[in-house]
A = this chain, B = another copy of it.
Amino acid sequence: MRIGELARATGTKAETIRYYEREGILPAADRTDSNYRDYSEDHLTTLTFVRRARELGFSMAQVRELLALSDHADKPCQDVDQLVRDQLIEVDRKIEDLTALSNKLKEMVRACEGERIGDCRIVESLGGKNCAISRVSDPRG
C-alpha cells in the first residue's frame, strides 16, 4: 500500500508519516520500482498504535519505549520487566483519571435529562483534593 492509502487508513498526514520514518518511529517502507514507499500490514498496525498512543498522551520518547518493548517481547525478560511495570503504573493512573472524568460527565448528562439538577463540577473529577491519589511530582518533566 502506498503512503496516501496508509494516510487515509490512519487519519495521518503523508508528511507526518515521512516525518515518523525520519525519526525512526516507523520503519522505512520497501520501495517500488518507481521509488514509491510500499507499506505492509505491519506498518499499518504500528502506525495505528503510534497515533493512538500519541492521542493518549504518550510522548514520542514513550512511544519509542513501548515499541521497543513490543520488539523485545520474546527476548530476555528481566531487562524489560521494570520498564513494563513503570508503563503499567502510568497507564492505570490515566485510566483512573479518565474514569473519574467519565463519571462526572455522566452525572452531567443525567442532570441534563432532568432527573435532578446536581452540582456537577467537572474540575473536581481530576482536580479535587478528595481525588483517589494525590500526586505531587512533576507530571511532564
Contact = CB atoms under 8 A, between A and B. Distances in A.
A99 B101 CA distance: 15
B53 A119 contact: no
A33 interface: no
Contact of A92 (B11, B53, B102): B102
A37 to B, nearest CB: 18
Copy number in this complex?
A: 2
A74 B117 contact: yes
Contacts of A139: 11, 51-52, 55
Interface in A95-140: 95, 97-99, 101-102, 105-106, 108-109, 111-112, 114, 117-129, 131, 135-140
**Chain A facing B: main interface SS:** helix
A16 to B, nearest CB: 9
Most B-side CB within 10 Å, residue of A50, A66, A94: A94
By size class, the interface of chain A is 35 or more
Interface of A: 8-12, 44-57, 66-67, 69-70, 73-74, 77-78, 80-81, 84-85, 87-88, 91-92, 94-95, 97-99, 101-102, 105-106, 108-109, 111-112, 114, 117-129, 131, 135-140
